[in-house]
């Protein structure tokens, strides 16, 4: 590789695709950073070694042939002197001993390309791979779910077809036997009468078995015969037989149904188009299936599925209650929609926080300049900028809360201890014409949550209740211990049964319609006048509760009032994580700080802020740049201030590398939001120092000084 040009080396190292450079003897001559990350290896651990010694087949899975296939592909490249693309291969990767050892199942899409020397011989082979493990797993899971779904559908159709066929067979047999019976009666011979008696018994036995099967079915069953007019046209159907399941579905007794015209019993049969469909089934002999809701405008509407088949001069109607299935589908759709909105909101908030860091930060720096502070017009303009920036930061904070990307530090708390302070705040904002009542449960269980977020929940729900009572009313706050049963949580896709602490906030305001209630937790959805609300208050409540593994419900009646119930899981016996608090001793310093931030304006602002306070500041736009600068740095390095999410190596990985090189190096993370890199489910890992964006020069200086002064950072 020493003969390769510097340009090629830089392109090779910067490539996002994992790549190796192999000798004709399949030794590893070069490797890029992307390959090391993908295979959990180190440069010094694999350079110069044979490829198949570094990456042997997994001995625990003897049927794998990744090594054989790769070797064959490389040999084809040498002999054919042409690139060779391989099919997706399973090639397990050996985990480092620090990660537990053993092998990890991985799938790869490889490409092997020859590189020729000046004599036209194969000098190297570039081995590029793409890790497609997640795609393969998703495909396998999708195929498994598809097979399961198709098997269930096929089984269901077979059961339905068998039941319909048996019903039709029994009905036709019944008709034939009745015809035989009538014929035998006319002949009036003793022998034939005996035969008729035998047939009667067979008819009764068949009829008894048919009725028993129909009666035992969980699906409703109606047998109806056609009613024709003088021109032999079907004008209605008479209900001949029903089973017990139909009585449960329609809420009527058998005696109220059998013998009556279906359009008299259920007028919707004619007005809803069902009669035309039944007639079509009789005339075409083709089954018909439909799903429909009874009392569709009601929140408790009942969903039914009907399958109609022709039987003689009539129809057999099988009706199934699919209400629970519809509720589960609706819950899934709602959960997916809220998750999609949360991902979008989190991404937007992250980008805005980077911009707000620069806006608020430089506004603060300008306000400290004598030329600006002595000019009232400029000072007022800067105050307006900082005020607007602060308000925008609050809005992005609410977006992050909804998206469950806000960093929190929960602890074990009892809601009873937080209610009194909330009462004092509420009495100042709800007005004199609203009566506040609180009902506290005895022996209330503890929960695991950030106390500040509990106050957010109460304040947002109380403000929403206040705005619903412009002419006054009652605001009621209640707490209690509850146990959510499996029956209650069965139709809730993201709620587990168990012990919860309930916080209920109720009002006697104007209430809301069902269409409004269904959208009440969506961000930016509001029924208030323009300028009267952001539409983020209830979305914030939703995000906080979901981040705490809880559940929130809304019940409302127009002109009656609304009740929000928040269910937070009961805390276990584990102790709350503690965090040492160190007050910053001033904000100036002379330590050496390395700032790693991929956003240029944020990086320059942070560097200027700390430089003006006396710190020696080095900057880098990405992790590899930072590693190069540290390698050439002769003196000490006291603090790494790094963004969490960056292209290539993440902030956490960079910190681990540098702390390995420089023991004692302190780390301060910063981000507009962060996935589960230094936090888990939005909860800050113990011992991790974090500065959320946007931040002001004072906040940056104070946090840097605090981390440098804290022995445990």
Domain 411-569 and domain 592-709, same fold? Reply is no
Residue 403 has pLDDT above 50, yes or no: no
pTM of the model: 0.40
Chain centroid to CA 211: how far? 48
Region 349-370 average pLDDT: 71
* 584: pLDDT strictly greater than 50: no
d(CA 545, CA 548) in angstroms, rounded, equals 5
Q: Do 66 and 57 contact (CB within 8 A), yes or no?
A: yes
Is the peptide bond between 694 and the residue preceding it cis, with omega within 30 degrees of 0?
yes
Tokens of 395: 């809005």
Between the CA atoms of 289, 295, 298 and 302, what dihedral angle is there, to the nearest 10 degrees? -40
What's the rounded mean pLDDT across residues 428-445?
Answer: 84
Query: What confidence category does residue 402 fall into, taking pLDDT thresholds of 50, 70 and 90?
Result: very low
pLDDT greater than 60 at residue 483: yes
pLDDT at 596: 93
> Among 197-211, 592-606, 689-703, whose mean pLDDT is lowest?
197-211
Top-level class of domain 6-131: alpha beta
Q: Which of 687, 631, 681, 678 is nearest to 650 (CA)?
A: 678
Q: What is the pLDDT at residue 442?
A: 82
**pLDDT value, residue 682:** 44
Question: What whole-number distance in Å separates Cα of residue 608 and Cα of residue 138?
Answer: 47
Q: DSSP code of 428?
A: H
Residue with tokens 């009440």: 520
Of 232 and 147, which is predicted with more confidence? 232
User: Helix (H, G, I), strand (E, B), or coil: what is residue 695?
Assistant: coil
* Length reported for the chain: 713
Give dist(CA 496, CA 509) in Å, integer: 32
pLDDT at 414 over 70: yes
Q: What is the mean pLDDT of residues 112-134?
A: 88
Backbone angles phi, psi at 126, to 5 degrees: -85, 120
- Summarised one tens digit per residue, pLDDT across range 233-246 is 999 999 988 888 88
**Percentage of residues of the chain with pLDDT beyond 70:** 78
Residues 62/52, Cβ–Cβ less than 8 Å: no
Q: Dump strand ranges (E) for 134-233.
A: 220-228
Provide the pLDDT confidence category of residue 688 given band limits of 50, 70 and 90: confident
Per-residue pLDDT at 672: 64
Architecture of the domain defined by 145-325: 2-Layer Sandwich (3.30)
For the residues 577-606, what does the mean pLDDT come to?
74
pLDDT of residue 528: 67
Lowest-pLDDT range, 361-370, 414-423, 462-471, 500-509?
361-370
Highest mean pLDDT among 325-334, 349-358, 367-376, 645-654: 645-654
Q: Cα angle at 370 between 364 and 374, to 5 degrees? A: 100
pLDDT at 364: 76
Across 74-78, average pLDDT: 92
CATH class of 411-569: alpha beta
Higher pLDDT, 343 or 558: 558
Whether the per-residue pLDDT at 454 is higher than 90: the answer is: no
Provide the H-helix boundaries in 612-650: 623-632
For residue 503, list its beta bridge partners: 479, 566
* pLDDT attached to residue 585: 47
**Could you report the per-residue pLDDT of 246-297, keeping only the tens digit for each?**
888 888 888 888 889 988 888 888 888 888 999 999 999 999 988 877 765 5
Q: pLDDT at residue 83 above 90?
A: yes
- The answer, yes or no, to whether residue 436 has pLDDT greater than 80, is yes
Task: State the Cα–Cα distance between residues 258 and 267, nearest whole angstrom.
Answer: 16
Query: Worst-scoring range by mean pLDDT, 329-343, 494-508, 546-560, 613-627?
Result: 329-343
Average pLDDT score over residue span 455-459:
83
Between 212 and 299, name the one with better pLDDT.
Answer: 212
Q: What is the pLDDT of residue 299?
A: 57
For the ranges 512-521, 636-645, 683-692, the one whose mean pLDDT is highest: 636-645
Q: Residue 529 — very low, low, confident or very high, per pLDDT cuts 50/70/90?
A: low
The angle subtended at Cα 579 by Cα 575 and Cα 585, nearest 5°, is: 160
How sure is the predictor about 522, in pLDDT bands with cuts at 50, 70 and 90? confident
Could you tell me which residues come within 8 angstroms of residue 382 by beta carbon, excluding any fewer than 6 positions away? 363, 366, 367, 372
For the chain, domain boundaries:
6-131, 145-325, 411-569, 592-709
Mean pLDDT of the chain: 79
* Alpha carbons 699 and 704: distance in angstroms, whole number: 9
- Report which of residues 653 and 521 the model is more confident about: 653
What's the half-sphere exposure (Cβ side, CA atoms, 13 Å) at 487? Answer: 0
Asked if the model's pLDDT at residue 697 lies above 70, the reply is yes
How many other C-beta atoms lie within 10 A of the C-beta of residue 22? 21
Name the class of domain 592-709: alpha beta
Q: Is the pLDDT of residue 681 over 50?
A: no
Out of 183-197, 512-526, 646-660, the most confident range is 646-660
Over residues 348-363, mean pLDDT: 69
Give the integer Cα–Cα distance in Å for 424 and 477.
13
Interval 548-556 mean pLDDT: 88
DSSP summary character for residue 570: B
Q: Residue 214 has which token pair?
A: 């129909």
Q: For the ranges 51-60, 195-204, 480-489, 676-685, which has the lowest average pLDDT?
A: 676-685
Return the ∠ at Cα 467 (arms to 461 and 472), rounded to 5°.
110
């Amino acid at each position: 590789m020493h003969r390769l040009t510097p340009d090629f080396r830089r392109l090779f190292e910067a490539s996002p695709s994992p790549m190796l450079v192999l000798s004709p003897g399949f030794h590893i001559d070069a490797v890029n950073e992307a390959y090391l990350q993908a295979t959990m290896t180190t440069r010094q651990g694999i350079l110069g070694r044979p490829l198949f010694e570094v990456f042997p087949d997994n001995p625990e899975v003897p049927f794998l042939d990744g090594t054989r296939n790769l070797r064959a592909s490389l040999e084809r490249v040498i002999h054919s002197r042409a690139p060779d693309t391989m099919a997706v291969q399973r090639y397990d990767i050996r985990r480092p001993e620090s990660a537990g050892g053993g092998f990890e199942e991985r799938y790869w899409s490889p490409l092997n390309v020859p590189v020729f020397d000046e004599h036209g011989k194969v000098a190297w082979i570039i081995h590029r791979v793409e890790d497609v493990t997640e795609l393969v797993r998703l495909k396998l899971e999708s195929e498994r779910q598809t097979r399961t779904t198709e098997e269930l559908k096929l089984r269901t159709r077979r059961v339905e077809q068998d039941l319909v066929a048996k019903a039709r067979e029994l009905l036709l047999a019944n008709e034939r036997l009745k015809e035989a019976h009538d014929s035998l009666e006319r002949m009036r011979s003793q022998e034939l009468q005996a035969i008729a008696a035998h047939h009667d018994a067979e008819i009764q036995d068949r009829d008894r078995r048919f009725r028993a099967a129909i009666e035992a079915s969980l699906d409703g069953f109606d047998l109806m015969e056609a009613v024709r007019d003088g021109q032999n046209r079907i004008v209605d159907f008479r209900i001949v037989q029903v089973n017990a399941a139909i009585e449960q579905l329609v809420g009527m007794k058998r005696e109220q149904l059998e013998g009556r015209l279906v359009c008299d019993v259920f007028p919707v049969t004619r007005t809803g188009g069902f009669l035309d469909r039944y007639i079509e089934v009789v005339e075409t002999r083709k089954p018909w299936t439909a799903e429909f809701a009874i009392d569709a405008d009601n929140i408790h509407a009942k969903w039914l599925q009907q399958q109609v088949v022709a039987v003689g001069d009539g129809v057999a109607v099988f009706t199934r209650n699919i209400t629970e299935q519809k509720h589960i589908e609706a819950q899934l759709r709602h959960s997916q929609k809220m998750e999609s909105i949360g991902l979008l909101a989190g991404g937007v908030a992250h980008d805005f926080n980077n911009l707000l860091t620069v806006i608020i930060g430089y506004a603060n720096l300008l306000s400290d300049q004598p030329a600006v502070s002595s000019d009232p017009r400029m000072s007022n303009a800067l105050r307006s900028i900082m005020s607007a920036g602060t308000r925008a930061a609050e809005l992005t904070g609410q977006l992050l809360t909804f998206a469950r990307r806000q960093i929190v530090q929960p602890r074990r708390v009892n809601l009873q201890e937080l209610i009194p302070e909330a009462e004092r705040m509420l009495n100042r904002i709800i007005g004199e014409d609203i009566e506040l009542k609180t009902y506290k449960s005895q022996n209330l269980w503890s929960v695991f949550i950030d106390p500040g977020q509990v106050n957010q929940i109460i304040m947002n729900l109380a403000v929403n209740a206040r705005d619903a009572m412009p002419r006054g009313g009652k605001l009621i706050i209640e707490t209690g211990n509850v146990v959510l049963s499996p029956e209650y949580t069965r139709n809730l896709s993201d709620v587990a049964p168990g012990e919860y602490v309930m916080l209920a906030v109720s009002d006697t305001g104007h209430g809301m319609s069902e269409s409004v209630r269904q959208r009440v937790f969506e961000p930016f959805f509001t029924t208030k006048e323009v300028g009267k609300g952001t539409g983020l208050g209830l979305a914030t409540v939703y995000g906080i509760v979901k981040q705490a593994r809880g559940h929130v419900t809304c019940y409302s009646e127009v002109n009656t009032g609304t009740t929000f119930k928040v269910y937070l899981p009961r805390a276990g016996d584990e102790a709350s994580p503690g965090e040492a608090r160190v007050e910053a001793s001033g904000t100036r310093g002379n330590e050496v700080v390395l700032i790693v931030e991929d956003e240029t304006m944020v990086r320059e602002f942070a560097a200027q802020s700390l430089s003006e306070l006396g710190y020696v500041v080095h900057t880098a736009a990405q992790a590899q740049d930072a590693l190069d600068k540290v390698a050439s740095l002769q003196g000490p390095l006291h603090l790494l201030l790094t963004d969490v999410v960056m292209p290539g190596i993440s902030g956490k990985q960079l910190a681990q590398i540098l702390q390995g090189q420089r023991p004692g190096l302190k780390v301060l993370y910063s981000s507009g939001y962060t996935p589960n890199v230094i936090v888990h489910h939005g909860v800050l890992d113990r011992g991790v120092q974090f500065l959320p964006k946007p931040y002001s020069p004072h906040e940056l200086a104070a946090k840097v000084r605090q981390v440098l002064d804290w022995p445990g950072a």
